[in-house]
Structure 1
Amino acid sequence: MNSLTRIKLSFMMFLEFFIWGAWFVTLGTFLFNNLNATELETASVFSTQSFGAIIAPFIIGLIADKYFNAERILGVLHLIGAVLMYQMYSATNVGDFYPYVLAYMIAYMPTLALVNSVSFRQMRNPEKEFSVIRVWGTIGWIVAGLSISYIFHWDSAAGIGEGLLRNTFMMAGIASLVLGVYSFMLPKTPPVKSQDKSSSISEILGLDAIKLLQNKNFLIFFIASILICIPLAFYYQNANPFLSDIGLENPTGKMTIGQISEALFLLLLPVFFTRFGFKKTILIGMLAWTLRYVLFAYGNAGELSFMLIIGIALHGICYDFFFVSGQIYTDARAGEKYKSSAQGLVTLATYGVGMLIGFWVAGYISEYYRAADVENFWQSVWLVPAGIAAVVALLFIIFFRDEKETTANATDKPYGAETERQELTSLP
């Protein structure tokens, strides 16, 4: 890959995740303070991400992989996204806001796979070249968060009071417009010609790999993956509103510590895999969820603010040690025949079904405690996902049998392009 192509792809990744980080992190705070949304209305809005994740494989499998250049579809979707972002910026109530955010998520979620396609098709050695480009996506997310807190101060107490969080949608919309136009300047990425012109719905959604669930270990892992998405949904839906509500300064900027942590622990993951094996590594990830929410439950914005910072920093262990480890385990378990289908099945189950359940559970729990007018509202909320993660970890310990062969297969595989390909279709 020449230097110009590398720069183009890096800027593409930067914008792709800058757009997401520019509005999604503060969405819960915006809904509550600007649109007076209830907890269940907030859950409904966040659930649009899951609907987008469920629909995305159809757009990629039935359209992008067969008929049009990936970079052109990427451009069109982001231009549509720019228009929808302006509509979200202009909405004055949840009823007006919801159809636009639903349409936006349906348009945006497929772009996570499209930027992968554009990138990998330009690479001769993805294992060495891809990480250098993908890291710019994480940088984009971090820059968006830091800009909101430290440059524009939209998430400060004064900014929230003046309704300045609405500007995050305008910022994301402008970035989406830029990426939409810029996408047509990216290297041409036509559909891959294949002798097999037909792909069944079951292949596109990964349902061909459902036979893997006959293996007890994989079934336990599969169920655990869905259940652990409930604590994950609590974080995405409630973390920023929580930090803002208790008065932590620059909450969005401080939340970028989680993305920095994610990048660092991604580098350490192969070491843990080699030394401890799959079961212990994934258990560390589960227990980190429990610890994180206990820290949130008992920390505060004053003398115990270090507990909140540690909880945010645990994001790298929470995400990498469970979800990325799970992708490696799935790859090792599936074999050549079901590699793509198995990853598609797990992605559909987690970011589609699991997160959908999680957002609604988070919404119902928060709604219940608000209606009950409990004295320590946030403490009560955070102890629920902490308990769920602890129960999932306990069940995993009891029912998952540590197979030396599986661990060996997983750790023998090069930790490179295949893992990164799957990681890119996930939450940053």
Structure 2
Amino acid sequence: MNIKNRLTLMSFLQFFVWGAWLITIANYWFGTKNWEGTQFGLVFSTMGIASLFMPTLTGIIADRWVNAEKLYSALHILYGLVLFYLPEVTTPTTFIYVMLLAMCFYMPTISLSNSISYNALKKSGLDVVKSFPPIRVYGTVGFIVAMWITNLTGNKATAYQFYIAGIAAIALGIYSYTLPKCEPQRLTKENSSLTETLGLEAFKLFANYKMALFFIFSMFLGAALQLTNAYGDVFLDEFKHFPIYADSFVVKYSTIIMSISQISETLFILAIPFFLKRFGIKQVMLMSMLAWVLRFGLFSFGNPVDGLWMIIMSCIVYGMAFDFFNISGSLFVETQTDPKNRSSAQGLFMMMTNGVGAVLGSFTSGWAIERFFTKSFSNTTDLASFLQTESTNPRMVEFVKIQGNAINADGLFDKVIMMRDWHDIWLAFATYALIIAVAFAILFKHKHNPEEVQASL
């Protein structure tokens, strides 16, 4: 098997072991375990928390002491073993802690897989910009295949989703031990400083204006990714509260609609080499940011009937929004850093996007949505006031009227009515992405040189 095929199999399994449970875990939490929803958000925050330190730590270890492919192998085997234990957990709090441990093993493997692939391709004399995207696209394919296997085998609400992922993770761990060696680039020298001894040189990249800006914008874009992952499916599902949309395909199959986003990724990953060589790193990353504006803006005005095309287009542009920054950003780190610190630098990139950015995006967006975009009503007085002041918002008015039918003798609803104003929520997110895009275009200075890009890779 040639090196491209070997790396393709690694990429496929890398995201298969994540996709087998990531989309369906909510069904297990609410349906099988019948746990309350107040703690469920913490399950997803474990990914961001683990990404704050584990990718950087493992990157340092791979740069200084241990072959990257061996470390990668060990992490996947440990990840698989923790997944096997998850179904034994009986309380939501313990489940969250065990999931955090699983994410500590899994999240750093994403950046390590990039380092292993780049190293193997270069050793084989292949063009990384041309060769890596077609390999990486099979990671997205693996994610989609895993999601469908879990669903089609009837395990989207059972513990077997973790067993499917666990078996594949251990298999990947064993397989990756056979990959080409990716040895540490720098050994300890006499009279080395503490920073050099601990392998912390990669943090010096923050002293470089261009790299510091790149990592800061990576954080902001990581927050945008968290917004769409956390609220996309919920947004589509809540159309069921409106009679005109309740029986639509979008409401019934919201997860399938959202999967168009992942399918779109496969197409845009393959387009990255052309765009990078034609327009350069800065323009490609700027395209990503403008695609986020479209992603959120189309969601804001879309609906499951006459606005269905907007929802579908939003899912399609997601491929550009996600890939053009994450994959191109990883390649940018590869071209701008010293070989002895590249695993550490990839870890920093992972930390800023999936760590700091994800955590900030999760907590900030949750607070903003509850504080500014969520309306609650417990009695007819609140409802009457709302109908007077918000009469121009037909969606919310219709929703409240429908939900507010059950009123007792004291004029109180039988339950507190809560409504999220998704139109304004997505507009706010689109504005956020637009501000980031404009700031990036002005502040980030990088002149495109096709020959330099080709030579550096």
Q: Contact 2:299–2:310 (CA<8 Å) still a contact in 1?
A: yes
Aligned mate of 2:181, from 189, 195, 205: 189
Aligned match of 2:395 = none
Q: Contact 2:219–2:352 (CA<8 Å) still a contact in 1?
A: yes
Measured against aligned partners, the alpha-carbon deviations of 1:263-282 in whole angstroms (never above 9, x if no partner) come to: 32233345445555555543
- Report whether the alignment pairs 1:282 with 2:285: yes
Aligned match of 1:158 = none
Measured against aligned partners, the alpha-carbon deviations of 1:114-159 in whole angstroms (never above 9, x if no partner) come to: 434554347512426545543332221121233345x24666xxxx
Aligned match of 1:59 = 58
Aligned match of 1:388 = 432
Distance 1:143 1:168 in 2: 13
Measured against aligned partners, the alpha-carbon deviations of 1:270-315 in whole angstroms (never above 9, x if no partner) come to: 5445555555543332222122122223333444333222211112
Q: Contact 2:294–2:314 (CA<8 Å) still a contact in 1?
A: yes
Instruction: Write the mapping of 1:365-380 to structure 2, written as runs, cut at 5 A.
Output: 365-368=368-371, 369=373, 372=376, 373-380=417-424
Instruction: Write the mapping of 1:28-427 to structure 2, written as runs, cut at 5 A.
Output: 31=29, 34-38=34-38, 41-53=39-51, 54-62=53-61, 64-116=62-114, 118-119=116-117, 120-121=119-120, 123-127=123-127, 130-149=132-151, 151-152=152-153, 164=157, 166-184=159-177, 186-187=178-179, 189=181, 191-192=183-184, 194-196=186-188, 200=196, 203-204=199-200, 206-213=202-209, 220-246=213-239, 248-273=251-276, 279-327=282-330, 344-368=347-371, 369=373, 372=376, 373-397=417-441, 399-400=442-443, 406-409=446-449, 411-414=450-453
| CA shift for structure 1 position 103 | 0.3
Distance 2:226 2:27 in 1: 15
| CA shift for structure 1 position 171 | 2.2
Measured against aligned partners, the alpha-carbon deviations of 1:161-217 in whole angstroms (never above 9, x if no partner) come to: xxx265432321232233344445x2463744744467638854721112213x6xx
Cα RMSD after superposing both structures: 3.7
Output the amino acid matched with 2:78.
I
- Report whether the alignment pairs 1:14 with 2:12: yes
Distance 1:92 1:239 in 2: 29
Aligned match of 1:422 = none
Distance 1:142 1:290 in 2: 25
Q: Contact 1:29–1:241 (CA<8 Å) still a contact in 2?
A: no
**Secondary structure in 2 aligned to 1:248?**
helix
Q: Contact 1:82–1:177 (CA<8 Å) still a contact in 2?
A: yes
Measured against aligned partners, the alpha-carbon deviations of 1:229-262 in whole angstroms (never above 9, x if no partner) come to: 2221111222234445545344444434323322
| CA shift for structure 1 position 98 | 0.8
Q: Kindly tell me: are residues 70 and 376 of structure 1, through their superposed partners in 2, closer, same or farther at Cα, counting changes over 3 Å?
A: closer
Distance 1:48 1:101 in 2: 7
**Secondary structure in 2 aligned to 1:234?**
helix
| CA shift for structure 1 position 45 | 2.5
- Larger radius of gyration between Structure 1 and Structure 2: 2
**Secondary structure in 2 aligned to 1:375?**
strand
**Secondary structure in 2 aligned to 1:35?**
coil
Q: Contact 1:232–1:355 (CA<8 Å) still a contact in 2?
A: yes
| CA shift for structure 1 position 18 | 0.3
Aligned match of 1:426 = none
Q: TM-score, normalised by structure 1?
A: 0.76
Output the amino acid matched with 1:124.
S
Q: Contact 2:56–2:345 (CA<8 Å) still a contact in 1?
A: no
Output the amino acid matched with 1:173.
G
Q: Contact 1:230–1:385 (CA<8 Å) still a contact in 2?
A: no
**Secondary structure in 1 aligned to 2:208?**
helix
| CA shift for structure 1 position 19 | 0.6
Percent identity for Structure 1 against Structure 2: 31
Output the amino acid matched with 2:72.
L
Q: Kindly tell me: are residues 181 and 254 of structure 1, through their superposed partners in 2, closer, same or farther at Cα, counting changes over 3 Å?
A: farther
Distance 1:170 1:99 in 2: 18
Greater CA drift, 118-127 or 234-243: 118-127
Q: TM-score, normalised by structure 2?
A: 0.72
